[in-house]
Structures are given as structure tokens and as C-alpha cells.
Chain A
Amino acid sequence: MRQQDIDAAERPVGSSVPRLESHAKVTGAAPYIHNLQLPGMLHGKIFRSSVAHGRIRAIDTRAAAALPGVHAVVTGEDVLRVIPDPYYGPAFHDQPILALGKVRYIGEPVAVVLAADPHVAEEAAALIEADYEELPAVFDEVEAATSQAIVHEELRPAGTFPDLKHLKGRRDTNVGLDFRLRRGDVEGAFARAAHVFEHEFRIQPVMHVPLEPFVSAAEPGERSLTIHSATQMPSFVRIEIARLLGWSDSQVRVKSSLLGGGFGAKVYIKLEALVAALALIVRRPVKVSLRMEEQFYTITNHAATVRIKSGIDADGRIVGRHCQVWWNGGAYADIGPRITQKSGFTAAGPYDIEHVHIDSYAMYTNLPPAGAMRGFGVPQLVWAYESHTDMIARALGMDPLAFRMKNVLRDGREHATGTVMRDTPIDRVLEQLAERMGWHGAPPPAQGALRRGRGIAVGIKASISPTTSMAMVTVAADGSATIFSNTVDMGQGSDTAMAQIVAETLGVPLSMIRTVRPDTDVVPYDMGTLGSRSTFHMGHALQAAAADARRQLDAMKAGLGLPADEAIGIGDLFFRKFGMRGAGNVTGVGTYTPGYAPVDPQTGLSPDITPYWMTGATGAEVEIDTETGHVRVLRLVSVADAGKAINPRIVDTQLSGAAIMQLGATLYEHMQFAQGELTNGALAYYKIPGMHDIPPAIESGLVESRQHSGPFGAKGVGESASFGVSPAIANAIEDATGVRLTALPITPETVLRALREREGRPLAEQ
């Protein structure tokens, strides 16, 4: 036994045990939906729109249907036979399973070919032809507000969110949601301020690129349907598919598995409604596995434009801030309106500001749909407010750290929403970052054409609320335990962390705990694995379920007349009770929903907007080649508040992983569109970080703290290290060279252009 295993046996929570599925992952045996093969299964291959906005005149499927081996060709009209109202989406019911009447982006699914041999289906899909009447299209999120091109003639809010009801039936607008926050008198604050600063920032579209591409399968049964999907949200998929079919929830079974990455891509409905329709049309199991290229047509991060204006008093305090954010939601809303609101309200940053106005707009455009991605909009906002904050500090001649420390929100103070900050040590996160960076030491030396600089940035994110997690824990007669949780382990290590929580609560060794894979037929409801909510919400539910099981075991002991302090193994206890080895078990159940106060629709304010805040800060040390514009990140430091880390090593890997992922979005990744057509949707042209892109020094640190409302003091941490990466690098570039970049990604070209511009000898436009 290694030391860590001995520690884990005594105190599982807080111990860096290896992931429980480690053996399966290194031997190739780990289960993914990618591997699924069902008897009699057909493969579906998708024919996609080639125009950005148009009315469908005709779809010619004859050549495809005639290809030997093709089982069926399905269009949107065919879907209507099994699903009369085939529009889905968590915020708006705006997305058709296959295009109906109109297409709204290049890459939108228009038809599907089904065949037993996927090669045949693919060949046939290429034989489909569609004729469109092209319509004017809009791609820019700010232009969309005033464009004559209207993506959806009428808005159709889903019933899920009562606060969207007022948008029902609204016509001829591309504004899906306009969220506003009004605190104090921001114009008055600007008028009284000693200094006013205003800047605009842009963020490019990027894709999650899970290495297991989207994959779903559906299996029709007797008045039932089983969906196997690489989804982060089995419970939501079940409810939404049942709604589409007009069935009861119990007729739809959704099973998930380990995911080959999710990062927010695999939330809500992606391929699940499509495979459900296909399987019901042909009455056979159907699997749709996307190619890497097709992922880029399925969901993206939100591109955005952020305008931010701040008033500063003579003492260097931020007294007013107005933020305007336009989110490029693409052709279908997905969860964009929630990002617009739930991240929108953090747009003014982790600062104590008396007067704050925020306007946050969910925009429809003719691009692939944008949705949740690691950070849920927060990295875009932090890019803006932490670039802006640094620019202000430099303009005032203040140290960027000192300026932040003067203005950060501290516990007991009100956030812009009116929620009082608790257990959110932003100041301590910044202090630890400064210490690790050696911020107060000598700045890095300049060497000829190579310039070095340092930058920092800090951001906060609210948890998604109000949401519910439910769970069960069974204890078998031999003392082993089984966890029933619909939290999906997509690499964040939730299976291990949850088992540690159960082991600690139940007093059962980790080696005797197993987790049932998510399955809505046998596992209780959970809102979903997203927004770094699982450790907190599911952790609570499982802690309660394990405590419930423990209570039942204690009651069993008392019922047998045994004294409470008598040491008796669980196996012997069950034997005494049931008189037979192995007979019986106990099932503990647990439910958790945190408190929440809805936002006031007029002011956007709420006294209880989130059960906990996540804080992440980043420090970057860069070297710029002023002759080529090349940026080398020499050092990347992440510091986060994780509350109590259930498994410190997994937390550390989440921090470095999130930081590197955001490094990709900062320096390399950019979905490039030409009139709505994606020109680089494959890994050959869309570069994600590899081994050589990792900074020579990469480190992370945790602030020792405690979320008093969290299970064992824990809170979510999966996104925190993504918040500050982009602005920390831009701030370091300005420190090194004096040039400021306000658009992502930062490439050698954009850096060189900025440098040459500053020298008064700009490069020619392309």
C-alpha cells in the first residue's frame, strides 16, 4: 500500500487518490458511447446546408436513395411524421431536428442517410442536392441588432424558464434576450468621476473540440425509446425527448457513459433528438457519430463584443461602470440567453462598485449555434474587464495589482447584483498569485528585440442556480456500496470525488465503492454536469444519501438491541438481521437544491443570486519578439479558490487543464468564417494546444479556504483557471512592449501590426 492509499483509507476526503477508472483508461478498456455497437444498428450521415440563410425550395434525395445499401433517406418533412412539432432548445424552442422551410447557417443538418455501412451512408449523403432561395444573412453580433436580415421571424421561448415568457411571439428581431442590471446612477457617477475610461473588446468564435466527437444512438422498444448519448445532461435529454414525442418521461431512457471530453459542448440537446426521430421512423437502432469537422457545425463558444466604461475617483476607486455585451449566439439560441443573463450580471468584474449598469444581449446570427463552453461566457467578460482594468491602472500610473487590491470585492460587501459576498477570498487569491509571480521583485530584463513582461488578471463566476441534484447510495450486505448519480464523468474526476465523499460519510473504504453509469431508468434526477456545479450540488446529495444509509445501518443495529458503541462489521450486522449471508441491503437517498432569489426583471438585482462564487486568477510572463510579433508564454500561474479540495491532485489537473485550454483560445484558436462559411473546421487548420505549446513553467495554487455551505467545505473549480488567461497575457504584452491588443486571438500578426502601428510604420492591410 502506498502512503496515499493509507491516508485515503483513514480520511478519503482531501486525499489525492488516483482516479477510480485509471486502470480502464490506460488499458483502452474505458467505456465511451463512441464504442457502442447495437445489433441491427444503422449509421446516419448528415447532409448539411451550403447557404447561410435561405428558403428550401427542394431537396432531391433520389440518387442517394438509389445507392445500393442505403436503407432510408430522411428529411425534415419525414421527421414531422413522428414528431409534429420538432423544435427543441433549453431557452427557445427554435431549433428543428432537420431544417424545415428555412436553413439558417452553413452546416445546418438538412437530411440524413441511413445505412448499415457508414461508408455507404456517407457516399449517399454526398449525392443529395438541395435548392435554396437565398435570403440576406447577418454574421456580426452588433450588426444583428439593426440588420434587415431576420434569422427567426418569431421568438418561441421554451416553458422551462418563466423569465423568458414576455418574449413569446415577439417578431422581427434578432435580439433573443436583453438582460439589464441597474444599480445606482451610473451617469451621475461618470459626471462626478475624476477620470472616465471607455474601451471595446472583441472575442472570436472557438470550439470545444472534445476528442470524442458528438455521438448518440437510439434504440426503439415497446412504446419506449432508449437513447445512448455522450451527454453531460442525461436527465434533461430524457425530459426534452419525452416532450418532443408527447410521451411520459418514463418511456424515455437515457444512458450516458464516460465522456471523451465535454467542456460544455455536450449539454442540452445535440444529436439526441435526431437519433430519436430516425430510430422511430425506421424502427431500428440508429447511431450518429460525427466526424471532427462536423463538430464545428454543432456548437461553438460565443463570439462577443464588449464595451465597457468606468469612472474612477481621485483616490483610484472605481465608482461607476457601464458594460454593454453583445453575444453572437448563431442561428439557434441553445443556452445563450442563460449566458447572456447568468454571466452577464458578472460583467462588471470582481470589484466593489457603487454604480453599475449592464446591458447584455443574446443575438441571433447566421452562424453555427453558440452555447455553453467552459466558463459559460465568463472568460469573454474577464477578457474585457481585466484588460480594461489594467489599461486604467497604467493610465493612472498605479501598480496593476495595487489598483485591483484597492477595488476588489471583499466578504460582507454587496456584489453589483445586491448579493452579499461570502466565502469568496478574491483578495487572498490575488495575494497568492502575486507571491508566486514574485510581483514585488525586479521586473524581467529587456534584451534587444526580445522584450519580457508580466501581467495578471482575476475573475469570478456565479454557480448556476437554482438547480437540483438527487442521488442514492446502496449498501450491500457485505458492506460494499454503490453510488447512483447522474453526474457524468467527462474527465473532471467526479466519479472519484463523489466516491471519496461517500466513503468519508459512510465509513466504507474507497475500494468497496462502485458508481453506476448515468442511466435515467435507475438513477435519480440531476440537472446536469455543467457550470462546475457537481462537487457542490451532487456532493451534497450524495453526502445526504450516504448519511441516510448510515442512519439506517445504525437503526438496524439498534433494532437488534446492540449498543451503539459495539464494533460490528456491516456484513455481520446484515447476517444478524436477515439470518443469511449476503441477504438485504439499505438504500439511502439524498436531494439538494440551494436557496435562490430570482432577479428583479427591471433591475436585474437579487439578494441571493448564487450559492457560491468561483474565483480564479492568472499570472503570465511573456517574451515578445518585436521583429516577428511572436509571443512566448514563459510562465503561466493559476491560483483559484476551491474551498476544500476533495482530491487536490485532480483539482490541480483541472486548473492546469483549464489554463492550457484557454491559452489555446488566447493564442491559436479561431473559427474563421467567410460569409458564414467556416474555412478551417478541421484539426489540420484549427490548432489546439499541443505539447510544444505548453509554457516551460506552468504552476497552480489553491487558496486554503472553506465554502461554509459546501459539502466538506468544497466548491466547484473546473472553470476557475480559464477566467484570467487571455487578459493576463494581453496585460503582459503591454507591459513588455507598450502595445495593447483588444481582440482575440492574439497572433504574431496582430502583435506585429500593433507594434508597427505604434512605430508609425503600419503594415499594409491584407
Chain B
Amino acid sequence: MGPDGDSIAFTLNGKPASARVAPHHTLVEMLRNEFGLFGARESCGQGLCGCCTVLVDGQAVSACLYLAALVDGAQVSTVEGLADGDALSGVQQAFVDCGAFQCGFCTPGFVMMSTQLLARNPDPDEHDIRDYLSGNLCRCAAYPQIVQAVQCAASRQKEDHAQPRGE
């Protein structure tokens, strides 16, 4: 590995990407410094608050602890990849409609985890939601509204499946 690190190639939000990374660079640093993506944020630096949550090959990871070099060849998804232009994803729209945030610093992490929850369990009960999101912290404590938002996104998703749009 050279002084500036090695080149890695991966898929970022569905598009091919490459970067030079040093062995000690974390994924959250690379996303900020090389790609100008600020949705994943380092806060506690210990993988405990969930503010830096991104998906690597479909698995949620704490990007403040995950070494950038490890995403070589992987699929990386960040909160910036969820919306289609101005059209928000179902989870994002539900967070807006339920007012499920205050300062918003932790919101991308909650949105990513909630998205993964609904992909794995489209019909979660309240305990499932709390359990799945227990690794994300919100100091403004919009927790009651976040639970509502996930419930809202789940029920809208169910309706959408029952009556596909455009038919």
C-alpha cells in the first residue's frame, strides 16, 4: 500500500465508485471527504449512537468504526440514495408526516435502520420497532414520533402492495 493508500472500487448508491483510502480511514470519513456525502455522521465514535449508519451489502454498519478499505467490491448504500429526485422514500415521507425528528442529526441513521427493518419485516409490531431501533440514539428524544413514523410507513407500504399504484 502506498503512502496515500490503495485504490478501492465499489458500488455507491447503485453507481460505480472508486477512491484511494489509507488503512486507518473509516467509511464515514471516506463518504465525507471523497464523495461529499454528509448524511452519515460521526457522533459518539463508538458505534453506539447510530448516526453514522449505512448499509454495506445490505447490512447496516456503523460507518465510524467500519474501515473504508473493507468496502472494496461491496455495495454501499447511504441515506442520500433513498429518495428518487424530489420523491422521498416511504420511510422518509413517513418521518416528515409524523414529525419524527427535531434537530435531525440522528435522522439519517434512523431512516436507514427503519428502511432495513421494513425490508426484513414489513409488518413489525411496536416492540419489533423499538428493538430494531434500539441501537440508534436521539437526544432530542423524538422516539414516540419515530415509532409512529415506522408504523405509518409500514401501513402505507402494505396498502401500496394491496393496490399497486397506477392500476
The verdict on A698 contacting B80 (CB below 8 Å), with A18-B99, A26-B88, A211-B51 known, is no
Q: When A258-B103, A259-B103 are in contact, do A27 and B83 touch as well, CB less than 8 Å?
A: yes
CB distance A27 to B80 under 8 Å? yes
- The dominant DSSP class at the B interface is loop
Interface on A for B, CB 8 Å cutoff?
Answer: 16, 18-19, 21-30, 32, 34-35, 37, 119, 208-213, 258-263, 291-293, 490-493, 649-650, 653-654, 656-661, 682-684, 688-692, 694, 698
Inside 8 A of B97's CB, which chain A residues have their CB?
18
The answer for the CA separation of A21 and B95 in the assembled complex, in Å, is 12
A212 touches B41 (CB 8 A): yes
Report how many A-B pairs have Cβ atoms within 8 Å. 164
Q: Is B137 an interface residue (CB 8 A)?
A: yes
Q: How far is the CA of A293 from the CA of B80 in the complex (A)?
A: 28
Flag the segment in B67-75, B142-150, B157-165 that touches A.
Answer: B142-150
Question: With A and B bound together, what is the CA distance between A649 and B131 in angstroms?
Answer: 26
Whether B139 and A688, one on each chain, are in contact in the complex, defined by CB atoms closer than 8 angstroms, is yes
Contacts of A260 in B (CB 8 A): 41, 43, 103-105
20 contacts between A and B (CB under 8 A): A26-B96, A26-B101, A37-B33, A210-B103, A211-B105, A211-B106, A211-B138, A258-B104, A292-B43, A653-B99, A653-B145, A656-B144, A657-B141, A660-B143, A684-B48, A689-B141, A691-B134, A692-B131, A692-B134, A698-B144
Asked if B39 contacts A27 (CB within 8 A), the reply is: yes
User: How far is it, in angstroms, between the C-alpha of A262 and the C-alpha of B105 when the chains are bound?
Assistant: 11
Residue contact B95 to A682, C-beta cutoff 8 Å:
no
Bound Cα distance A25, B102 (Å):
9
| B→A interface (CB under 8 Å) | 24, 32-33, 37-41, 43-46, 48-49, 51, 78-80, 82-83, 86, 88, 92, 95-97, 99, 101-108, 111, 129-131, 133-134, 136-147
Q: How long is the Cα–Cα vector from A299 to B42 in the complex, in angstroms?
A: 20
User: Please, which residue of chain B has its CB at the minimum distance from the CB of A656?
Assistant: B144
A contact residues around B38 at 8 Å (CB): 28-29, 32, 34-35
A34-B105, A691-B147 known; 19 new pairs, CB 8 Å cut-off, are A18-B97, A22-B95, A26-B88, A27-B92, A27-B108, A28-B78, A37-B33, A209-B139, A211-B137, A212-B103, A291-B45, A292-B43, A492-B102, A653-B145, A656-B141, A660-B143, A682-B46, A692-B130, A694-B144
CB distance from A419 to the nearest CB of B (A): 32
Are A28 and B40 interface neighbours, CB within 8 A?
Answer: yes
B39 touches A21 (CB 8 A): no
Residue of B nearest to A36 (CB): B38
Does B44 contact A292, Cβ atoms closer than 8 Å? yes
- Alpha-carbon distance A27/B134, docked complex (angstroms): 21
Given known A-B contacts A490-B103, A683-B44, A690 and B142 have beta carbons under 8 A apart: no
Which residues of the partner chain A approach B146 to less than 8 Å between Cβ atoms? 691
Chain A: which residue is nearest B129 at the CB level? A691
Question: In the complex, A649 Cα to B80 Cα: how many Å?
Answer: 27
By a CB distance below 8 angstroms, the chain A residues around B33 are 37
Q: Is the Cβ of A682 less than 8 Å from the Cβ of B134?
A: no
Q: Which residues of B contact A210 (CB under 8 A)?
A: 103, 105, 139
Contacts of A659 in B (CB 8 A): 141
Question: Which among A18, A30, A659, A691 has the highest number of chain B CB atoms within 10 Å?
Answer: A691
CB <8 Å contact, A491 and B130: no
Q: Are B104 and A649 in contact (CB under 8 A)?
A: no
Closest residue of B by beta carbon distance from A19: B99
- Per the bound structure, the CA–CA distance linking A297 and B140 in Å amounts to 21
Name the residue on A nearest B22 (C-beta).
Answer: A119
Chain B residues near A212 (CB-CB < 8 A): 41, 43, 103, 105
In the bound assembly, the distance between CA atoms of A492 and B101 in angstroms comes to 10
Which of B46, B111, B144, B145 sits near A684, CB closer than 8 Å?
B46
Q: Which residue of B lies closest to A293 (CB)?
A: B45
A683 touches B41 (CB 8 A): no
Query: Contacts A653-B142, A691-B143, A694-B144; is A261 near B137 (CB within 8 Å)?
Result: no
